Amino acid sequence: MSMKATRDAYGEWLVENGRKNESIVVVDADLSESTKTSGFAKEFPRRFFDVGVAEQNLVDVSAGLSLAGKRVFASSFAIFETGRAWEQIRNFVAHDSLNVALVASHSGLTSAADGSSHQALEDVTIMRVIPNMRVVQPCDAEETRNALDAIIASQGPFYMRLRREKEPILAKGYGFKLGRAEVMREGSDVTLYSSGTTVSSSLQAADLLKTSGISAEVVNIHTIKPLDSTTIVKSASKTGLAVSVEEHNVIGGLGGAVAETLSELRPTRLLRIGVQDAFGRSARTTEALYRAYGLMPDQIADATNSFIRKARK
C-alpha cells in the first residue's frame, strides 16, 4: 500500500499552486523543515515569511497579509499554533473572516519522542468553538491535497490538522467536498466515526470485527466543522450503535461533535474512543503511544465488541 505523510503532501501542494497563483503566501514560525513549507520558501523567497518562534506574531502577520489581498497559509506545530495564538486567531482572523488557512503539523500523538509539551490533544476542541472557523482533518496525503484545493477555492478562515508520520493512501473513489463525510465502508451493526489517521485504524478494526460476525460501517469525517449531521444521523439510524475514534481528547473533539449531533437529532448509544482527558507522554514510537491510549486496530475492535455486547444485553 502506498504511504505518504500529510505534511509532505501539503509542502508539495504549496509549491505546485504557488507557481500558478501569485497571491499565495506562506508564513512559518521557525519550523519550515518540519512543516514542509521549506520548499515554498526556496522557490518563492519573496512570498515566504519566517516570523521566528512567535506564533502570536505568526497569526498577526497572516491577518495583515490577508487584508492586503493575499491567500495566506500559516504553519507551525499544532500545539503552538492553536495554543499560543488562540486569542489572535479568534479576534483577528476569525472575527473578520479573513482568508487565512492555519495548517498545523505534528498534531495528536505523532510527536512521540517530544512528549506531552508537543502533543496537541485539545486543538480541535478549541478551534471548532470559534465562529467562522472551519476545521478539517484529512485522512491521508491525497485527501490533504483535495482539501487544500477546496480551501483555496473558498473564502474565510480554516484550521487544517496534519500529522508527522507516513500513512496509507485511502482517499480513492470519491469526490472530496468540504462539509460532507464519506462512508468508507458500509455496515449494519455499528458505525465507526473517524477522522484523520484513525480512519485507517477504523478500517482495519472493521476487518477484525468482521471475523466476529460484526458488520461495522466506517465514516470518514474529514470536516469536523461544519459537521455533516445528515450522514452521521443516517448511519446511526441504520446501525443503531455509534463509536467515535480520534487521536485527540474525547472531550470536545470529534466524539463531542458526534455526541452533540446524535443527542439532538437521533439519540444513539455512543462509545468515545480516544485520549480519555489526559496529557500525552513520551515514547520511542508513535505506535507505542497509540497502543498506550487504546488506538490500535485490535484495541478499537475489542472495545467496540465489548460495547456491542453490553448494548445488546
Within the chain, all domains assigned CATH 3.40.50.970 are found at 3-168
The predicted pLDDT at position 76 comes to 98
pLDDT digits (tens, 9 = 90+) for 283-302: 999 999 999 999 999 999 99
Buried b (16+ CB within 10 A) or exposed e, 60-90: bbbbebbeeebbbbbbbbbbbbbebbbebbb
pLDDT digits (tens, 9 = 90+) for 216-247: 999 999 999 999 999 999 999 999 999 999 99
The predicted pLDDT at position 13 comes to 98
Query: Residue 136 burial (CB < 10 Å; 0-12/13-18/19+)?
Result: buried
| Whole-prediction pTM | 0.96
Contacts of 153 (CB under 8 A, 6+ apart): none
Residue with cell 446524535: 262
Rounded to whole angstroms, what are the CA distances from 232 to 182, 258, 270, 306? 10, 7, 12, 22
Within the chain, all domains assigned CATH 3.40.50.920 are found at 182-312
Question: Looking at the domain that runs over 3-168, which CATH code has it been given?
Answer: 3.40.50.970
| Whether the predicted pLDDT of 173 surpasses 80 | no
Question: Looking at the domain that runs over 182-312, which CATH code has it been given?
Answer: 3.40.50.920
Query: Rounded to the nearest 10 degrees, what angle do helices 297-312 and 198-210 cross at?
Result: 60
Contact 171, 138 (CB under 8 A): yes
| Whether the predicted pLDDT of 1 surpasses 80 | no
- According to DSSP, the β-strands at 158-161 and 134-136 are parallel
The predicted pLDDT at position 112 comes to 86
The predicted pLDDT at position 166 comes to 93
| Whether the predicted pLDDT of 111 surpasses 90 | no
pLDDT band at 313 (very low <50, low <70, confident <90, very high): confident
Q: For all residues of the chain together, what is the average pLDDT?
A: 96
The predicted pLDDT at position 198 comes to 97
pLDDT band at 277 (very low <50, low <70, confident <90, very high): very high
| DSSP letters for the chain | --EEEHHHHHHHHHHHHHHH-TTEEEEESS-HHHHT-HHHHHH-GGGEEE--S-HHHHHHHHHHHHHTT-EEEEEEEHHHHHHTTHHHIIIIIITTT-SEEEEEESBTT--GGG-GGG-BSSHHHHHHTSTT-EEE--SSHHHHHHHHHHHHTS-S-EEEE--SSEEE----SS---TT--EEEE--SSEEEEE-TTHHHHHHHHHHHHHTTT--EEEEE--EEES--HHHHHHHHHHHSEEEEEEEEETTTSHHHHHHHHHHHHS--EEEEEEE-S------SSHHHHHHHTT-SHHHHHHHHHHHHHHHH-
Cα–Cα–Cα angle for 281, 285, 286, rounded to 5 degrees:
70
Distance between CA atoms of residues 3 and 7, nearest Å: 12
| Whether the predicted pLDDT of 32 surpasses 90 | yes
Average pLDDT over residues 1-17: 95
Report cis status (omega within 30 of 0) of the bond before 226: yes
Active-site positions read 55
Average pLDDT over residues 258-271: 98
Average pLDDT over residues 132-143: 97
Task: Give 158's strand partners.
Answer: 101, 134
| Whether the predicted pLDDT of 113 surpasses 90 | no
